[in-house]
Each structure stands twice: as C-alpha cells, then as structure tokens.
C-alpha cells in the first residue's frame, strides 16, 4: 500500500503508523487518520495514489467528507499537478519536500567545543525540546499557536513511547549549563531508518551541531541493521544542502498542497 509512494511520503507514514496513525486504502487514494491527535495536520489528510492529481474539486470534497470538523486541508500527491494555479486558487500552498538517502553513516565530526551530546531522558530535556519547537513555530507563524501546541504535546508522548520501546532515539546537544542547543530524532523502520525534526536554536547555529548529531543518530540506526537512512528537507533549502554535504544523495520529491487554517462551515 505504501511502497508506491515517494520515499518521503512513505517513510512519513511508516513512522506515523508506529505511533497510532491509521492508513485506509480507498482505491485511488489513502485516508490517513491519527485518532489520538486530530491537530496533527499531516497525520490527518488525503494521500492521492493513482487518482487524478488535477481533480482538485473532488479531493477537496473528499477531505471535507472524511474530516468534517478539520480546520486545515492537507493533500499528498503521487505526482505533481499540472494545474497548480487551481490548487492555489483555493487557498492552498504547495508543500514539496525532498527525500535524501544514505547507505552508511555520515563521516563523524567532533563535538563542537562547549557542548555535550546525549539521549533525551529527563523531563526537563523533553520540555526544552517541546519549547524549542513551539518557539520555532511562533517565529515562522506557520501554524495557529494553540492548535500547534496541543499537536506537539501529543506528538511528544508518541516520541517518548517509541524511545522507551527502543524503536526511536532522540539525541540532543547541550550547553554546559544544560540548555538544549540542537536535537533530532531517528526512528528504526526495520531495515530502513528515518530522521525526525532536526532543530537547532538560532543562537547556536552554524557551529556544526546538526552535522555532528546526524552522524550520532545514523550510527545508532546502522547498528540496528538499517541499510538505508532517509532524511527529508524542503525542496531547494539550506537544510537539504547541508545533508548533501554530509553525504546524503538527493532523491525524488514528494508533492503536496496544504492550508493550515480553513473555515469550518
């Protein structure tokens, strides 16, 4: 059901299913639901598979049918639409991401001076990670603040549960006084592994923290038998260029259309 999807979309759903997301095959599309986290926009969406990527009106109607109380709209496409202006005319924005892959760990780099690296364990460490993600959203204004906060709180419960089960690992770089400067996650997908949410605090960027954490997380995945490591970045982004320099090979794009806010009728 998922193998026909581009790598970014496929591994997104493989990770999400570990956390309770339900994927239903509806013929030419998938209906993706996360019952415990209705505010997770890309955990409650329509993924077009063999259907017509240009049939915008149909997909909008199906989304409203499947998610009648949703305050967002999110659609994954198996191939790019030939009429992006129609999607845009409905208030949706393109959401294209690139999957980059490696078959081994990036070459290790030293821990930048003044930082220590460890797995997130303590309550304060997880709270710092949550606060960093909320601050990132506040700075970008991408998602409604209250709804995003509730989504992230629920998502953190899943992250901690997966780490406790040994399926995931969240790693942070901390300053000498215990402040979380950078962090990321890695999820074991049984022969494949997927990075999660690389994040560096603005005041700690350009010091090599993310580059170091990439190798630490990849080593963990390879030790568990991962033959392919996947990381996702926005198309033509600084993050994608960093991953290329670290040795990840660019791959196909996953295409989507998204509106974080939508009037409920």
Query: How far apart, in whole angstroms, are the C-alpha atoms of residue 241 and residue 233?
Result: 9
What is the Cα gyration radius of the chain? 18
Residue 2 is encoded by which pair of tokens? 């998922």
Residue 125 is encoded by which pair of tokens? 């460490």
Q: % helix / strand / coil in the chain, to the nearest 5?
A: 35, 30, 35
Are 110 and 87 part of one and the same domain? no
pLDDT, averaged across the chain: 96
Are 65 and 113 part of one and the same domain? no
Are 89 and 117 part of one and the same domain? no
Residues 116-172 have pLDDT tens digits of 999 999 999 999 999 999 999 999 998 889 999 999 999 999 999 999 999 999 999
Q: Does residue 190 have a pLDDT over 90?
A: yes
**Would strands 192-200 and 228-234 be described as parallel, antiparallel, or unpaired?**
parallel
Confidence of residue 109 (pLDDT cuts 50, 70, 90): very high
Residue 26 belongs to a domain? yes
Strand partners, 45: 32
Residue 233 belongs to a domain? no
Residue 30 belongs to a domain? yes
pLDDT at 142: 87
Are 82 and 112 part of one and the same domain? no
Are 42 and 135 part of one and the same domain? no
Are 83 and 182 part of one and the same domain? no
Are 114 and 197 part of one and the same domain? yes
pLDDT at 144: 85
Residue 118 belongs to a domain? yes
Query: What is the percentage of the chain residues whose pLDDT exceeds 70?
Result: 99
Residue 238 belongs to a domain? no
Residues 66-107 have pLDDT tens digits of 999 999 999 999 899 999 999 999 999 999 999 999 999 999
User: The domain that contains 112 carries what CATH number?
Assistant: 3.40.630.30
Task: Count the domains in the chain.
Answer: 2
Query: How far apart, in whole angstroms, are the C-alpha atoms of residue 114 and residue 77?
Result: 44
Are 93 and 109 part of one and the same domain? no
Residues 204-235 have pLDDT tens digits of 999 999 999 999 999 999 999 999 999 999 98
The CA angle 11-6-76, to the nearest 5 degrees, is 90
Query: How far apart, in whole angstroms, are the C-alpha atoms of residue 133 and residue 149?
Result: 9
Domain extent at residue 203: 104-226
pLDDT at 265: 63
Residues 10-50 have pLDDT tens digits of 999 999 999 999 999 999 999 999 999 999 999 999 999 99
Mean pLDDT over 188-211 rounds to 97
Are 172 and 139 part of one and the same domain? yes
Cα 115 to chain centroid, rounded? 26
Residue 39 belongs to a domain? yes
Residue 119 is encoded by which pair of tokens? 């797995």
Residue 1 belongs to a domain? no
pLDDT at 143: 85
Strand partners, 29: 48
Are 64 and 109 part of one and the same domain? no
Residue 244 belongs to a domain? no
Query: How far apart, in whole angstroms, are the C-alpha atoms of residue 97 and residue 147?
Result: 23
pLDDT at 236: 85
pLDDT at 41: 96
- In sequence order, what are the residues at sequence separation of 6 or more whose Cβ sits closer than 8 angstroms to the Cβ of residue 56? 81, 83, 86, 87, 90
């Amino acid at each position: 059901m998922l193998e026909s999807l581009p790598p970014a979309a496929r591994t997104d759903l493989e990770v999400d299913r570990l956390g309770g997301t339900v994927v239903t095959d509806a013929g030419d599309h998938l209906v993706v639901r996360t019952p415990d986290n209705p505010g997770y926009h890309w955990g409650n969406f329509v993924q077009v598979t063999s259907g017509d990527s240009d049939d915008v009106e149909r997909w909008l109607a199906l989304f409203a049918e499947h998610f009648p109380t949703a305050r967002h709209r999110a659609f994954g496409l198996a191939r790019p639409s030939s009429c992006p202006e129609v999607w845009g005319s409905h208030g949706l924005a393109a959401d294209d991401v690139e999957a980059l892959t490696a078959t081994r760990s990036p070459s290790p780099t030293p821990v930048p001076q003044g930082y220590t690296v460890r797995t997130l364990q303590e309550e304060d460490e997880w709270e710092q990670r949550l606060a960093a993600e909320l601050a990132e959203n506040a700075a970008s204004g991408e998602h409604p603040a209250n709804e995003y906060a509730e989504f992230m709180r629920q998502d953190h419960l899943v992250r901690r549960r997966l780490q406790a089960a040994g399926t995931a690992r969240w790693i942070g770089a901390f300053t000498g006084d215990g402040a979380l400067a950078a962090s990321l996650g890695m999820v074991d997908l049984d022969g494949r592994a997927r990075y999660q949410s690389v994040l560096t605090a603005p005041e700690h960027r350009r010091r090599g923290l993310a580059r170091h954490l990439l190798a630490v997380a990849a080593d963990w995945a390879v030790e568990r038998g991962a033959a392919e490591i996947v990381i996702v970045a926005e198309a033509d982004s600084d993050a994608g260029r960093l991953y290329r320099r670290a040795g990840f090979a660019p791959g196909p794009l996953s295409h989507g259309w998204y509106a974080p806010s939508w009037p409920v009728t």
